Structure 1
Amino acid sequence: MQDAAAETIGTAELAGGLRETLLELRAAVTAEAAAAMAGWAAPAERGGTRAQLENLALYLAMRRHDLTGLQEDLAALGLSSLGRAEAHVLGTLDAVIAALGALAGQPQPARSLPRGGRRRTRMAAERDEIFGADPSGPQTRIMATLPSEAAEDPAVTGALVQAGASCLRINCAHDGPAAWRAMAAHGRKAAEAAGRDLRIAMDLAGPKVRTAEMRMPKSFLGREKDSHLKKLRKAGLDPRAQGPKLMPGDRLVLVRQLSEKPKLPEATLSHPELLLAARSGADIWFDDGKIAGRIADCDADHALVELRGLPAEGVRLKPGKGVNLPGAPLDIPALDAADLAALDTAVEIADVIGFSFVQTPQDIRDLRGSIAGKLPEGRPAPALILKIETGRAVANLPRLIAEALGGGPVSVMIARGDLAVEIGLARLAEIQEEILWLCEAAGVPVIWATQVLESLAKEGHATRAEATDAAMAQRAECVMLNKGPHAAEAVGFLRQILGQMDRHYAKKFPRLGPLNAWHAPQEA
């Protein structure tokens, strides 16, 4: 009995100390959150958006404190360790403080109670408004990217809708208005025939820096197969302008204007502003991170790049491939002429507009202003997808959400392709988790994107790592698949995986349903 009494006293003392610590934490968090809210632009009120932003501010404030020590003590008392507080920060803190008070012999009611279930219901409604409803499907929606042939062949969109896609994505970097209209029409017709809800998303290409014109020395033609050269010449194309085959030890020059007789391969850029941001010693990447280099020398008109890690058989760099200079501040407008032209069609046929390379609240204001000026009378403004593709966008994400949230439905895409190049592959896994948590706190749906089941969509078979990645994507509200000849099969496979994972997880919350792998003792 003495041991039990001592244990009871120890528990009460521990609970009392933790309660005081959490009361101090609550006071600090509410003060820090109020300061953050004061610094954000006040959005237009849209059905509770202020409450969403207040919870986001509270979550950010709480996560500035190291809670790891507290968590172990709370778990030892059988209480919430605050690890699932995203949906309602203040209510979770208050519930734990009240429970600690009861254990410490100081009972008092919680000032507020967690309303995570209500918040998740709201986010589910937002998810369905942006990505389409799918009552018989998994909790996570599937967005499928349309290939160019979808404009001519209705069977392409039909197969994707039948397989389970509730949102079809049109990439405005390809094709044109006539093709986009045909794709959308085929998709809507297929959805009507199947009795399914469908959304059309259109991605603005954004100010992605790409290789533009290219020219290589005549000596580089010796690396090409005769059949390849004959094919180009037969098509009336200059072989020196179709992209160089780069080998280990090669160098490349980025220039404002091509030389008539270059000594090294040269390339101009879609946005020459990158040359102004270049610095000697900086890393640079081409073709979505497939080709690495380091700037050896540069000025306002050129950058000499020493290429690194090229395979022994070489690799081809073509015009139109992405160029990333991680960490460099590029003074490029978020909307270029091509984006503004694409908006003319998007405001008429799209339910959702993807905003590529958004980085600042002003970018969102510019897009919303352009949409308002083009929107047909009586048509609601499309929802927005904020595509997070740079380190600057990650750093500004709370401010981006604060700016966008009041103006209409908004979601966030973890665009893992460019983002991985910009922040480094080693940081990607950590950052995508943090974006998921932050967006849950804000009540904003998330899209898990880039190379999901890529091998299956393109080659007809998935890797084990891709299957695991697809399962992890269940924590997002939507998963985006890229195009490929087996895209419909990829949609069906993804739908199956997502449905299986719904049995086990709701965001970070494990569901303790029955396990079916061990119905009876197994033989050794």
Structure 2
Amino acid sequence: MKNNAKDVYDKLMTLKEKILQRRLPAPEACLYPMSYLNMQDFLTLKKDDLRSLQVELMMQGLSSLSRSHMHLLYTIEHELELLGCMLDKEESAKYDAISPLDAHRQIEERGAFIKGQKEKNAVMLTLPSNASEDINFRKVLHKESITAVRINTAHDSPEIWKEMAKMVKNINQKYREACPLKIYVDLAGPKIRTGEIKKRTEPFRICTKDMKTFMLVPATGNITHLIDEEGAHRSAVIAVDDELYGHLKHADMIEINDHDRKTRFYKIDTWTRDQCTVKCGKKVEISSQTELKIQQDKRQYRITTPINFKMVPEEIRVFEGDKIVLSGKTALGHVVENADFKAIVSLKMDKHLFGYLKEQDRVYIDDGKIKLRVIEQREDELLCRVERANVSGKVIKEEKGINFPDSSLDIAAITEEDKENLQHIVGFADIIGISFTQTQKDVQMLKELLRDNNHIAIVTKIETNQGVHNLPHILSALSTWHNSAVMVARGDLAIEVGFENLAAVQGEIFDLCEAAHTPVIYATQILENLMKKICLHGLKLLMLRFLTGQIV
């Protein structure tokens, strides 16, 4: 037993020496030097395979170090002291090491900027566009279980963001003076998206089973469209020539001939200067070829066609095996006839980024619902094959996110638009999040932009492979800012690292952040049709994870 203890002691001493040799001094402006050193110790530990040593430590009744990453050197020195007593060795030299109690206190204090001093966990709720107008939603914010609200600058406008902030301020003054809500604002970042798609008119049927009436309206200021919204009566609006609309005042019936020349007659119910309500009869299709007739003086017909149709994007439906072109040159995406590929999809992406993409790279569209593989690289374009879509196909829509998990794109996390938006939000933001943080340069840029507003906390969102790889440097950059945290954006991250690797990567992020005593925020997820689709759909609810490991 004593011989085994000596062997363990020697190995543990070697590990301690290696940790000390690899330590680098904390940055000059570092506010948490002990946390910085502990993070370095943890990174040194992760470089070696210590499984045999861990087993030997457990055989001696000691900690295996697997959960000691928050106070690593302290634990090693404590175990050396215990083994030294057993072996009658002199006490080894002690070095700067943070104790478990101080480590827990450190991370609790660093998380207080969002959760307060008393709470162990925090819940953050994303504000919808109509938050300031929705009375029921405002009542939810009165509850103390919600500790922060999130404004996403990828949506809405500075005016709406300010209205949201004003609403939160009023709630804090009236209902939450003791525990005010914090305002977290996400910068939109450089998310690459699908571009605009060519528009077309879309025919629709009226007088279907659940439609009782439809409306004719003057063309000026109106559009032809189907009313099929949740909570509304199913109906339709048909815009017609203004002059003909006036003659409807004296008509009793209207005749509609569709493109197949099927004739239907419908009774006019009421007429006003703004709209004419017509009772439904047999169903009929309304398109730009449809004819509408009204009889005047029992002999003369006035004929028109529906106009001002609501324009909708052309449907680009893809199936497994289809080829499509992702283009930085084409303004409008569209279906292509008589070509070796099905469609062109325009990208909102800087053209220089095409140089970072190569054949066999994976491409994911719309949170991973559609998977592509690059089969040919062209000038500012990529020819891709569809590798995953539903059996019934998937429609590529406008403004959907695109991920390139196999590519390290040289792109700054803070865009020019973000810099402009900062001017509107610094007056009310308590916390600002950097979307798609990839390097420490992204953190340094925001710190520079906030140099006159250093009371605002910074949160870096980790959602790419590059962000995971550079996390130690990102944490180092955060160590010079008084309030900071890391957010794990699991939706995009799962696409980047692969869903099968998400749990392991997420665990590594948590462990490294705990070693640096940095709080972690992460978004909850709904795993929809997980086994079939292997993709993530995010609830707009965020939570904060602390040292205790409790997640609420």
TM over 0.5: yes
1:476 is matched with: none
Equivalent residue letter for 2:425:
A
| CA shift for structure 1 position 237 | 4.5
The separation in 1 between residues aligned to 2:150 and 2:466, in whole angstroms, is 25
**Secondary structure at the counterpart of residue 426 of structure 2:** helix
Question: CA 1:134–1:168 in structure 2 vs 1: closer, same or farther (change >3 Å)?
Answer: farther
Query: Equivalent of 2:420, from 341, 348, 353?
Result: 341
2:8 is matched with: 18
**Secondary structure at the counterpart of residue 276 of structure 1:** helix
1:394 is matched with: 468
**Secondary structure at the counterpart of residue 197 of structure 2:** strand
Query: Equivalent of 1:270, from 342, 348, 362?
Result: 348
The separation in 1 between residues aligned to 2:411 and 2:420, in whole angstroms, is 17
Provide the TM-score with structure 2 as the length reference.
0.73
**Deviating runs (4+, > 6 A) in structure 1?**
232-235
Aligned residues: 439
1:66 is matched with: 49
- Asked if the contact 1:210–1:323 (Cα under 8 Å) also holds between the matched residues in 2, the reply is yes
Runs of 5+ in structure 2 lacking a partner? Answer: 207-223, 228-286, 288-306, 532-537
Question: CA 1:176–1:68 in structure 2 vs 1: closer, same or farther (change >3 Å)?
Answer: same
Matched, 1:417 2:491: yes
The separation in 2 between residues aligned to 1:178 and 1:26, in whole angstroms, is 56
Question: CA 1:249–1:261 in structure 2 vs 1: closer, same or farther (change >3 Å)?
Answer: closer
- Asked if the contact 2:144–2:179 (Cα under 8 Å) also holds between the matched residues in 1, the reply is no
1:257 is matched with: 330
- Asked if the contact 2:115–2:121 (Cα under 8 Å) also holds between the matched residues in 1, the reply is no
The separation in 2 between residues aligned to 1:154 and 1:398, in whole angstroms, is 44
Matched, 1:244 2:244: no
Which aligned pairs between 1:306-317 and structure 2 lie closer than 5 A? 306-317=385-396
2:374 is matched with: 295
Query: Equivalent of 1:427, from 501, 507, 522?
Result: 501
**Secondary structure at the counterpart of residue 363 of structure 1:** helix
Equivalent residue letter for 1:44:
A
2:431 is matched with: 352
Which aligned pairs between 1:2-17 and structure 2 lie closer than 5 A? 11-17=1-7
- Asked if the contact 2:34–2:98 (Cα under 8 Å) also holds between the matched residues in 1, the reply is no
The separation in 1 between residues aligned to 2:138 and 2:407, in whole angstroms, is 39
Equivalent residue letter for 1:123:
I
Question: CA 1:243–1:30 in structure 2 vs 1: closer, same or farther (change >3 Å)?
Answer: farther
The separation in 1 between residues aligned to 2:426 and 2:196, in whole angstroms, is 32
The separation in 1 between residues aligned to 2:146 and 2:195, in whole angstroms, is 34
Query: Equivalent of 2:169, from 170, 176, 188?
Result: 188
Tell which structure's C-alpha radius of gyration is larger: 2
| CA shift for structure 1 position 33 | 2.3
The separation in 2 between residues aligned to 1:261 and 1:76, in whole angstroms, is 67
Question: CA 1:321–1:70 in structure 2 vs 1: closer, same or farther (change >3 Å)?
Answer: same
Question: CA 1:145–1:261 in structure 2 vs 1: closer, same or farther (change >3 Å)?
Answer: closer
**Secondary structure at the counterpart of residue 449 of structure 2:** helix
The separation in 1 between residues aligned to 2:85 and 2:70, in whole angstroms, is 24
Runs of 5+ in structure 1 lacking a partner? Answer: 1-10, 456-462, 466-480, 509-524
Q: What is the CA deviation profile of residues 326-378 of structure 1, one whole-angstrom value per residue up to 9, with x for unaligned ones?
A: 13122323222221121112211110000011111222222222233xx4xxx
Question: CA 1:398–1:346 in structure 2 vs 1: closer, same or farther (change >3 Å)?
Answer: same
Equivalent residue letter for 2:16:
R
The separation in 1 between residues aligned to 2:117 and 2:145, in whole angstroms, is 9
1:514 is matched with: none
Query: Equivalent of 1:362, from 435, 441, 444?
Result: 441
Question: CA 1:382–1:191 in structure 2 vs 1: closer, same or farther (change >3 Å)?
Answer: same
Identity, in percent, stands at: 29
Provide the TM-score with structure 1 as the length reference.
0.76
Matched, 1:45 2:30: yes
Question: CA 1:225–1:88 in structure 2 vs 1: closer, same or farther (change >3 Å)?
Answer: farther
2:253 is matched with: none
- Asked if the contact 2:194–2:347 (Cα under 8 Å) also holds between the matched residues in 1, the reply is yes
Query: Equivalent of 2:124, from 128, 143, 147?
Result: 143
1:115 is matched with: 99
Q: Which has the higher helix share?
A: 1
2:304 is matched with: none
Q: What is the CA deviation profile of residues 132-166 of structure 1, one whole-angstrom value per residue up to 9, with x for unaligned ones?
A: 3163x5x1211111111113225414304416110
Equivalent residue letter for 2:165:
A
Matched, 1:152 2:142: no
